[in-house]
Structure 1
Amino acid sequence: MSRQIVLDTETTGLSVVDGDRVIELGCVELLNRKLTGNNLHLYFNADRDSHEDALRVHGITTEFLADKPRFHEKAEEIRAYLEGAELIIHNAPFDMGFLNKEFERVGMPPLSSMVSGVLDSLLMARDLFPGKRNSLDALCDRLEVDNSGRDLHGALLDAELLADVYINMTRGQEQLLSSDSMASNNKSGSAVVIKKVDFAQFDLPVILPSDVELAAHEDVLAQLDKSSGGKTIWRKLA
């Protein structure tokens, strides 16, 4: 059974090096790509104020957090919840950096040692939609995920939206079912047999692009490079 956790945090600021802390953690559980409702949502008293810019983003005040637990009080609960799962995080290095520092403060190993892997949905989106905006809001608009209730950032809400975005971005994986799953969906009750095809038996022709097609392709690459501000990897390699 595939267990994935879609995770998001809110923090007092952008710099873990300068002592910014995690103040909210939101986790949404997926089992075999299905939402289970077994979510984890925690606020933390960070013993410091949020920067003004951060406060404008998440709206979580120091007064609201005054009676919330410190991270160390919930660290073991978080570890137990995340253990063995694959994490799905949008811009994973940011959240991972903050959580690793929180675990380090309480003498616990880094997050990567607790989980089976980490999938960065931002990198996935950049591969799927090169040259386009791939913020969570942009992906919600593109994939028709309703984010009308998102006036401020919130870790649980953002994790729930990201779960929907991830499921939409990976729709094709629904076809990658196990033989047991396919057999259970077969109305006749018989197992589904997938026939393998040996492509070596075919003499496949190689069709080269014309000059017009090559020019059109180069034009598309140039447009992508321009829209990304000259950050396309193929230009750098060239």
Structure 2
Amino acid sequence: MRQIVLDTETTGLDPKSGHRIIEIGCVELINRKLTGRHYHQYINPEREVDDGAIEVHGITNEFLVDKPVFSQIVDEFMAFCDGAELVIHNAPFDVGFINAELRRLGSSRWQNVSAHCSVLDTLALARERHPGQKNNLDALCKRYFVDNSQRDLHGALLDAEILADVYLMMTGGQTDLALAGADKSSERKEDKAEQQSEAGAIRRLSADRAALAVLRATEEEQEGHQQMLALLEKSAGKHFW
């Protein structure tokens, strides 16, 4: 299974108001393992970045002046994501911005996101698992012991890398976040853990099975038990059963 963990940074909050994408960061997972492949690009939005947005991500208008516009990077970006499941925190926000960019281009090749990818929203997933709690990325990092100490400002690639770790921890079954194929010994450990998990799986007994026999203590055994309790009472002063 191929998944792309994705994040964007933008000029503001609403694409309907003309706000644009200025950074895209993606990391690749295959069968729940980081592959080391990623996509990262800054984009000239052809408009000013809101001051409030700059305070969040620190990306200035001056920095973006010489960056490519979206039409110049769309083929490489969409080809990287094509056919994968996108894993996004608060997916409607990022997907809304990407779809707005695609509509603006009017490309016959790349339509909206849903035509090329499925989408998993980790914010919705976190709210199901932790109702009534904070479920932003920083809160999830704290909850799942994921290091986000470098996250002074938001950044698309850094946030995608952090989200990948959070997603793997939140969905279970993956505690070794090393790159896929990096260490054969780790693969052997995972195989052994899988075998142990299968061996310890719950096995349901048939409803038609014979009733278990109940063996009750004999009078002699009960008398011996009372004698032992009396001995313990005498030697220790008290007992707990």
Tell me which amino acid in the other structure corresponds to 1:101.
Answer: A
How far does residue 5 in structure 1 lie from its aligned partner after superposition? 0.4
How far does residue 138 in structure 1 lie from its aligned partner after superposition? 0.6
Distance across 1 between alignment mates of 2:113 and 2:165? 24
After TM superposition, the score normalised by the length of structure 1 is 0.74
Secondary structure, counterpart of 2:37 in structure 1: coil
Distance across 2 between alignment mates of 1:195 and 1:122? 30
* 1:1-238 map, 5 Å: 2-107=1-106, 108-115=110-117, 117-172=118-173, 185=191, 201=207
Q: Deviations over 1:108-167 (max 9, x none)?
A: 30011111x110000111111111000001111111111111110000000000000001
Distance across 2 between alignment mates of 1:72 and 1:81? 15
Worse overlay, 165-174 or 48-57: 165-174
Distance across 1 between alignment mates of 2:81 and 2:111? 13
- In terms of Rg, which structure is larger? 2
Choose between structure 1 and 2 for higher RCO, CA contacts under 8 A separated by at least 6 residues.
Answer: 2
Distance across 2 between alignment mates of 1:63 and 1:89? 28
Tell me which amino acid in the other structure corresponds to 2:119.
Answer: V
Matched pairs, number: 190
Distance across 1 between alignment mates of 2:174 and 2:144? 16
Tell me which amino acid in the other structure corresponds to 2:13.
Answer: L
Task: Give runs of ≥4 in structure 1 deviating > 6 Å.
Answer: 192-196
Give the 3 Å change call, closer, same or farther, for CA 196–60 of structure 1 in structure 2.
closer
Tell me which amino acid in the other structure corresponds to 1:105.
Answer: R
Distance across 2 between alignment mates of 1:96 and 1:186? 39
Secondary structure, counterpart of 2:22 in structure 1: strand
Aligned residues: CA RMSD: 2.5
How far does residue 71 in structure 1 lie from its aligned partner after superposition? 0.4
Secondary structure, counterpart of 2:29 in structure 1: strand
How far does residue 76 in structure 1 lie from its aligned partner after superposition? 0.8
Q: What stretches of structure 2 of length at least 5 have no aligned partner?
A: 176-186, 210-241
Tell me which amino acid in the other structure corresponds to 1:62.
Answer: N
Would you say the 8 A contact 2:24–2:41 is kept in 1? yes
Q: Deviations over 1:11-34 (max 9, x none)?
A: 000011110000000001001111
Distance across 1 between alignment mates of 2:191 and 2:131? 36
Distance across 2 between alignment mates of 1:62 and 1:104? 24
How far does residue 194 in structure 1 lie from its aligned partner after superposition? 11
Secondary structure, counterpart of 2:17 in structure 1: coil
Distance across 2 between alignment mates of 1:11 and 1:47? 12
Identity of counterpart residues, as a percentage?
54
Tell me which amino acid in the other structure corresponds to 1:113.
Answer: A
